[in-house]
Structure 1
């Protein structure tokens, strides 16, 4: 690989860290009102308190103890980034609360589901990251979950995976993923329709290529085979499309979503987000206004730390996979985890 290509990949990875953290430059600058505004945008859920101790064990966390080099500033070495295995549940929800989300997805605010679910795993030494997509049509055992009113939901067998969010919100989504995987979710990040569309628009759109026509009335996306420049609304429809693609299952949609993520990272690598605070603020405002996290990530400083941690991962260290599944015996339109392959995958993330 040439030096130019290596530098290009490195730049795209750094831009990706800014996209994930949403606030890398602004947080570092502490830009007064803008910083306060973005901080207030973020909503959070206290998942640790809600779930208590009935969870998989948390992976050990270590803090680097090596002395800073002569080139490091005191501020850079004062708070070394923690290392250790980190697992983050990232959900794209079709929550329809608010006029923007309603216009983009239709329906009402009581019908929210987790349309996209990914477990982002960071290796202990921050040299590798694995992103595992979980098909929303997977049949799972949905555990009993606490509700905001103080009650609990019943344990349900053979439930669709995305129903956990619908009946119990982020807390039940996390508990269901932990029950399915046996892996502790250290953090939770959720972005809704408006936030995703706003992110794409802030980047000026994304370019995708499809090898077949897409004609999906459900997602309102109609594209001829070929290369297209998508705005935020179209990109959201692309991420939600499943009908008319492949066998019409969620697995086809996941492939489109993974293609879209790659297109977003490529677009971020071509922009000046890292040197253009105005562009970064526009993107950060769109995203944080539609962001829900656990209480461990509910501030710009905490998100910045995550972004910096991600920035340590080399461009060649990112792997995207889908949880191994097979058709469910009870319903050919649903899937179940394929064993032992699924368990082997989750074991590798502990």
Structure 2
């Protein structure tokens, strides 16, 4: 009988360890993770499904200069983050070499490419392709990219230190990229449809994107919690302090992004203070997901003004979270035959 190489798991054991490679596909040691792969499969969408003709008219003729600037900048910010992060999930298997982790990571990576394509397409149909060329000239965008690179960059050479850094990187990515950095922009863009009945196609794309980003972050938290169960010594006071320090730095980066988005003026129907409160609540919710104390505790009355967004987009009551699509649009699920019609 051929044995698995030293340090490689041959199958499911009671002593699970995410960092130990496993050669065989089944039995899975972490079958609970595959629900996240299936969730993305059930939510699958393409930007070509949505009609953007009215959105182009809205952008050109039905908004003020300040509103046009805000939605343009919000889309640019989202598109740039999608470019910066699209490889993270595809590389996750290298850090946690279990087939089920790879299955989820590769599925997530494909969805990130769809998100990138969707927002690039939005900018193209709105005639804003040239805006991509000046991304590096926008300090707020550049600072956000630097922040992401700092926390997703090179790993230390020591194996134990590397494993601990990988856990921190996964936590920061799940919290700050997937669950915070994009959601301020999602709120802004979706508000145009909610408050002004504008940009219906864009609102559908935002809803579809945000649902998938929510799934990505929840998966990341579950992996982090699993790592904490398997390696409690990694998650000491110093680890917590690094997370909180990174959270404060990320908040400053997001504040800069919002300053730039609203550089031509705030939105009458979505005050800047409300957006700030929503972003800070997302930070606190991310910390709570991995059992850390809140850091910002924003004004509850301001946060309450954004409850509609979470109800409609993140946790709507008209769909199962793991089998979701926007309720304002339905894709044909099966072919129709003459027997169905007659």
TM over 0.5: no
- TM-score, structure 1 normalization: 0.28
Instruction: Give 1 or 2: higher strand fraction.
Output: 1
Larger RCO, structure (CA 8 Å, separation 6 or more): 1
- TM-score, structure 2 normalization: 0.28
Instruction: Give 1 or 2: higher helix fraction.
Output: 2
